[in-house]
């Protein structure tokens, strides 16, 4: 199901201009606000200071302070031997990092966007993901590939693709997609400590967004489990499963739906591979309806996999067909109005949820 | 200025527009490059004098280029490099590039353009010097810094500006954007976001030109392809792969490196083991030339030779143009890492100012002529903005168009039947 609708100009331009403050009520008494950017920076800082085998590699991570300022201050703190500015050779430096990981150090490779990882994908899949298996457990690859993924604002077809489905289809990789600052911090720390290759899909438009964080999150030993989804909002009428930026949209949709008497449960997937099938299935068995939301191309996407999982395990519990919301099945256009139509909007999620509840869509 | 002093000036400094201060003094980390009185680096000339007798393919080709140039110089000590018409054409093209990019910056800050916009200010000499020597059927492949390549190749300013505004009258109907300018009519093959991505594409275009001539027997097909890319790209694997294949198959291509010393915030000297890019050409069996990319006449002379080689079927050339971008990497780049002294040094070598000085000093044009051109270009750019402003945004139905070239996208022909059922479609030269 494609959700393509014209977004109100004002809302969209506001989204582009300033970061929105999240109004989540599901966190415990939170004193501090932290942006996703700060969360990622602090996670890298913590892990680099705890383990001297962790080092960063990527374009502009050092002197430029990071193309999106995620690695700000780390060069000054850890020096050029641990924060390496590379030439523009994705295939080369990814291969070098994987080789280093074979020997036990822990590289964190930054791709300026995951679109550029296509130049290095041979090493991510063939050299990193498959090695533990091919060597029968003798060589593990404790590497993290991180960077912004998915659509930004007006950056055109070659800078806007979401790679969650591509990487998540490959056994041997762990694919994480954080939404809030807590997710970003916890999942990145977990990924760096993990002995397997981790693909960490951030989102450029979320970097500036602020979320409340509890003291537990700020602790240096804070880690989130890989492979467990989070119920961001409990509900009983329909389950909305999303990852990354779409979780924010799903939460807004849930607020709108509440006014119409539909109590939506929002699941933040957090981990695309391994996918937390048990949480999603348990939720669907409770609500009996499912809407999946993603920004990526629809065919063979995360939503398709979730739908198949539900059909395999909880078919009898479904009261309505699964609704799948994804980006338009076209390369991302540049023109602003076309771009708005190519990415799911809150209204699409609301309409899909209403369709599963057999309510009129108006 | 009388003709005698004119001639004297030319014979001592035949191709130099700028005062002979070596660029190297202001680039502290590079081993000093001697002044280029002749085209290309004098280092190359030193190579040639020692290996004149050693004319095997690798160093021989480098010698050949400089020899040709030296002969040209001795034959034409009294004539200027360009005629008045050519001079004015070059000036107009560079001014169009500069004015257009400045307008882009203004429009971006007013919100009319969005996303990633990469401006070409300061590098106009390379685009104008090379592209103005091409025919319509020759191809140009560029990177995301492609507005001025498009303009030099002949894409109307209106079409480029509309594309940047995301309007349906743009050269790609608003679907491509700043980084993806395509034009079949002008043989502009993009516009690529990933660096190094355009080089294999350009090599392929050159391959087609050769294929047309030799396999399809279009004997007069001598189309040349120019691939423009930067210094950062020269560390990318695709660059080397294409140098190898272009030389191996003697493809009619010129690899033009716009070495502006910076890849976003990464200095070329920090990223490259041997920063002299032109040396990488001979390693693959093609001439490697270094030229002052802030001097449009020098670039033009080198371009003539390189394009000529390609047209005659002698194979590829690697040309490194030492140039500089006056603005940041993109309009979102704060440009904090570049030394102000370096920026000032290159600002003083502005290619447009240099050409203007040359034209006036050699009486090829008067101030009034040049001012008239400035005014005309201002009007062209203003008109382009107005046109783009008034153009409609793409309609909703355009979102799903052009994903496939096949109208229904499923092997269904325009008449509605499956193509594979059409006997004409499956007929070929296969003998059953």
Asked if B194 and A119 come within 8 Å (Cβ–Cβ), the reply is yes
Q: Which has the higher per-residue pLDDT, B180 or B46?
A: B180
**Exposure b/e, A156-175, CB count within 10 A at least 16 = b:** bbbbbbbbbbbbbebebbbb
Which is nearest to B309 in space by CA: B68, B45, B86?
Answer: B68
**Does residue B355 belong to the interface with chain A, where contact is any CB pair within 8 Å?**
no
Query: Is A90 in the active site?
Result: yes
Q: How many CB atoms lie within 10 A of CB B222?
A: 18
pLDDT at residue B190, rounded to an integer: 82
Residue B429 has pLDDT above 50, yes or no: yes
| Band of pLDDT at residue B404, cut at 50, 70 and 90 | confident
pLDDT at residue B217, rounded to an integer: 86
B165, B182, B266, B329, best to mutate vs chain A, most A CBs in 10 Å:
B266
Q: What is the dihedral of CA A267, A271, A272, A275, to 10 degrees?
A: -80
Q: Does residue B427 lie in a domain region?
A: no
Q: B65-120 pLDDT, tens per residue?
A: 444 444 444 444 446 888 999 999 999 999 999 999 999 999 999 999 999 999 99
pLDDT at residue B408, rounded to an integer: 66
pLDDT at residue B218, rounded to an integer: 85
pLDDT at residue A31, rounded to an integer: 72
Q: For residue B157, report the phi and psi dihedrals to the nearest 5 degrees.
A: -55, -35
DSSP conformational letter for A136 = T
Q: Which of A87, A91, A341 sits opposite B396 (nearest CB)?
A: A341
Cα angle B5, B10, B15 (rounded to 5 degrees) comes to 155
pLDDT at residue A59, rounded to an integer: 95
Tell me the chain A residues in contact with residue B272 when contact means C-beta distances shorter than 8 Å: 87
Q: What is the dihedral of CA B202, B205, B210, B211, to 10 degrees?
A: 140
> What is each CA distance from B162 to A7, B119, B124, B400, B404, in whole angstroms?
23, 16, 21, 20, 24
Q: Does residue B201 lie in a domain region?
A: yes
Asked if A334 and B115 come within 8 Å (Cβ–Cβ), the reply is yes
A116, A204, A334, A336, best to mutate vs chain B, most B CBs in 10 Å:
A334
Judge contact between B241 and B200, C-beta under 8 A. Answer: yes
Q: Does residue B372 lie in a domain region?
A: no
Dmax (CA) of chain B: 79
Query: Is A347 in the active site?
Result: no
pLDDT at residue B34, rounded to an integer: 41
Residues of chain A with CATH 3.40.50.920: 230-357
CATH number at residue B223: 3.40.50.970
CATH of span A230-357 = 3.40.50.920
Distance from A80 to chain B by nearest Cα, in Å? 12
Cβ-based neighbours of B88, under 8 Å, separated by 6 or more: B359, B364, B365, B369, B373
Q: B178-234 pLDDT, tens per residue?
A: 999 999 999 999 889 999 999 999 999 999 999 998 888 888 889 999 999 999 999
CA distance linking residue A145 with residue A150, whole number of Å: 15
Residue A143 tokens, joined: 């590497």
Q: Does residue B357 lie in a domain region?
A: no
**Model pTM greater than 0.90?**
no
DSSP conformational letter for B234 = G
**Does residue B333 belong to the interface with chain A, where contact is any CB pair within 8 Å?**
no
| One-character DSSP codes across A284-313 | HHHH--EEEE-SS-STT-HHHHHHHHHHHH
> What is each CA distance from A293 to A23, A269, A355, in whole angstroms?
20, 11, 14
Q: Which segments in chain A show pLDDT lower than 70?
A: 1-30, 360-362
Cβ-based neighbours of A2, under 8 Å, separated by 6 or more: A298, A325, A326, A327, A328, A329
Q: What is the mean pLDDT of residues B138-158?
A: 96
ipTM of the complex: 0.80
Q: Does residue B186 lie in a domain region?
A: yes
Tell me the chain A residues in contact with residue B178 when contact means C-beta distances shorter than 8 Å: 156, 334
Q: What is the mean pLDDT of residues B17-43?
A: 39
Which is nearest to B317 in space by CA: B222, B230, B225?
Answer: B225
Which residue in A38, A47, A59, A90 is the catalytic one? A90
Please give the tally of structural domains in chain B.
1
**Strand-pair category, B188-189 with A271-273:** unpaired
Residues of chain A with CATH 3.40.50.970: 32-218
Q: B227-276 pLDDT, tens per residue?
A: 999 999 999 999 999 999 999 999 999 999 999 999 999 999 999 999 99
| One-character DSSP codes across B296-316 | HHHHHHHHHHHHHHHHHT---
Q: Which helix (H) or strand (E) holds A39?
A: helix A36-50
- Helix B124-131 vs helix B351-361: angle between axes, to the nearest 10 degrees? 60
Residue B83 tokens, joined: 């005629």
**Does residue B179 belong to the interface with chain A, where contact is any CB pair within 8 Å?**
yes
DSSP bridge pairs for B255: B227, B318
pLDDT at residue B37, rounded to an integer: 35
Judge contact between B238 and B199, C-beta under 8 A. Answer: yes
CATH of span A32-218 = 3.40.50.970
Tell me the chain B residues in contact with residue A338 when contact means C-beta distances shorter than 8 Å: 166, 174-175, 394, 398-399
pLDDT at residue B407, rounded to an integer: 65
pLDDT at residue B8, rounded to an integer: 31
| Band of pLDDT at residue B431, cut at 50, 70 and 90 | low
Q: Which of B265, B271, B394 sits opposite A338 (nearest CB)?
A: B394
Which is nearest to B264 in space by CA: B199, B343, B336?
Answer: B336
Strands lying side by side in the sheet with A271-273: A83-85, A54-58, A106-110, A144-148, A198-202, A174-176, A271-273
Q: Whole-number mean pLDDT of chain B?
A: 83
Q: Is A320 helix (H, G, I), strand (E, B) or coil?
A: coil
pLDDT at residue A6, rounded to an integer: 45
Asked if B176 and A156 come within 8 Å (Cβ–Cβ), the reply is yes
DSSP bridge pairs for A240: A266, A291
Domain containing residue B259 = 116-352
Residue B45 has pLDDT above 50, yes or no: no
Residue B363 has pLDDT above 60, yes or no: yes
Q: Which helix (H) or strand (E) holds A255?
A: helix A245-259
Q: Does residue B384 lie in a domain region?
A: no
- Which residue is associated with the tokens 């990527």? A58
- Which residue is associated with the tokens 């209403």? A354
Q: Which residues of A touch B (CB under 8 A)?
A: 4, 6, 16, 59-60, 63-64, 67, 85-89, 91-92, 115-116, 119, 152-159, 328-331, 333-338, 341-342
CA distance linking residue B174 with residue B211, whole number of Å: 33
């Amino acid at each position: 199901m494609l959700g393509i609708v014209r977004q109100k100009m004002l809302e969209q331009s506001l989204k582009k201009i300033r970061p929105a403050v999240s109004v989540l009520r599901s966190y415990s008494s939170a004193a501090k606000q932290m942006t996703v950017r700060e969360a990622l920076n602090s996670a890298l800082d913590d892990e680099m200071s705890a383990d001297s085998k962790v080092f960063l590699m990527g374009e502009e991570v050092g002197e430029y302070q990071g193309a999106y300022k995620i690695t700000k201050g780390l060069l000054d703190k850890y020096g050029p031997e641990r924060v390496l500015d590379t030439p523009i050779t994705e295939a080369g430096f990814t291969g070098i990092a994987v080789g280093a990981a074979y020997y036990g150090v822990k590289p964190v490779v930054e791709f300026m966007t995951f679109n550029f990882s296509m130049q290095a994908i041979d090493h991510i899949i063939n050299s990193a993901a498959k090695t533990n298996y091919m060597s029968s457990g003798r060589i593990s690859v404790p590497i993290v590939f991180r960077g912004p993924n998915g659509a930004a604002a007006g950056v055109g077809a070659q800078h806007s693709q979401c790679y969650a489905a591509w990487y998540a289809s490959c056994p041997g990789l762990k694919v994480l997609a954080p939404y809030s600052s807590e997710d970003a911090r916890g999942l990145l720390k977990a990924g760096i400590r993990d002995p397997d290759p981790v693909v960490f899909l951030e989102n450029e438009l979320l970097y500036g967004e602020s979320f409340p964080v509890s003291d537990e999150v700020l602790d240096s030993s804070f880690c989130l489990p890989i492979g467990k989804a989070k119920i961001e909002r409990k509900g009983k009428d329909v389950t909305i499963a999303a990852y990354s930026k779409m979780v924010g949209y799903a939460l807004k949709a849930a607020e709108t739906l509440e006014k119409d008497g539909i109590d939506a449960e929002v699941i933040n997937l957090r981990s695309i591979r391994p996918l937390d099938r048990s949480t999603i299935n348990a939720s669907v068995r409770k609500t009996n309806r499912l809407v999946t939301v993603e920004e990526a191309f629809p065919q063979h996407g995360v939503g398709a996999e979730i739908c198949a999982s539900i059909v395999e395990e909880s078919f009898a519990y479904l009261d309505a067909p699964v609704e799948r919301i994804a980006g338009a099945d076209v390369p991302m256009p540049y023109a602003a109005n076309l771009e708005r139509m190519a990415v799911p909007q809150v209204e699409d999620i609301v309409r899909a949820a209403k369709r599963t509840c057999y309510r009129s869509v108006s | 200025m009388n003709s005698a002093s004119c001639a004297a000036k030319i014979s001592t400094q035949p191709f130099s527009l700028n005062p002979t201060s070596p660029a190297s003094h202001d680039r502290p980390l590079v081993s000093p490059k001697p002044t280029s009185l002749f085209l290309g680096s004098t280092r190359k000339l030193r190579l040639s004098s020692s290996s004149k007798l050693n004319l095997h393919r690798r160093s021989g080709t480098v010698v050949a280029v400089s020899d040709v140039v030296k002969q040209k110089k001795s034959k034409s000590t009294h004539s200027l490099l360009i005629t008045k018409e050519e001079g004015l054409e070059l000036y107009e093209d560079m001014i169009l590039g500069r004015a257009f990019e400045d307008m882009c910056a203004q429009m971006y800050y007013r919100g009319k353009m969005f996303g990633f916009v990469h401006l070409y200010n300061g590098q106009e000499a390379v685009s104008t010097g090379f592209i103005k020597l091409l025919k319509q059927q020759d191809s140009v492949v560029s990177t995301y810094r492609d507005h001025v390549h498009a303009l030099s190749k002949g894409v109307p300013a209106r079409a480029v500006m509309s594309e940047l505004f995301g309007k349906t009258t743009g050269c790609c109907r608003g679907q491509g954007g700043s980084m993806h300018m395509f034009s079949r009519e002008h043989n502009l093959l993009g516009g690529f976001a990933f660096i190094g991505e355009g080089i294999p594409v350009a090599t392929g275009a050159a391959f087609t030109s050769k294929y047309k001539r030799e396999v399809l027997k279009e004997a007069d097909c001598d189309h040349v392809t120019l691939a423009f890319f930067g210094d950062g790209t020269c560390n990318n694997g695709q660059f080397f792969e294409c140098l190898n294949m272009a030389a191996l198959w003697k493809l009619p291509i010129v690899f033009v490196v716009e070495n502006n010393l910076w890849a976003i915030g990464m200095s070329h000297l920090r990223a490259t083991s041997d920063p002299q890019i032109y040396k990488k050409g001979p390693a693959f069996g093609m001439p490697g030339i270094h030229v002052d990319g802030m001097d449009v006449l020098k670039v033009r002379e080198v371009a003539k030779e390189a394009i000529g080689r390609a047209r005659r079927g002698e194979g590829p050339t690697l040309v490194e143009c030492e140039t500089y971008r006056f603005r940041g990497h993109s309009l979102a780049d704060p440009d904090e890492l570049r030394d102000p002294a370096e920026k000032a040094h290159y600002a003083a070598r502005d290619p447009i100012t240099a050409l203007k000085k040359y034209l006036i000093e050699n009486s090829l044009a008067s101030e009034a002529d040049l001012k008239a051109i400035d005014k005309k270009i201002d009007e062209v750019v203003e008109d382009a903005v107005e046109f783009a402003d008034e153009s409609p945004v793409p309609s909703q139905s355009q979102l799903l168009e052009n994903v496939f070239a096949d109208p229904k996208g499923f092997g269904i022909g325009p008449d509605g039947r499956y193509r594979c059922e059409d006997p004409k479609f499956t007929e070929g030269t296969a003998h059953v």
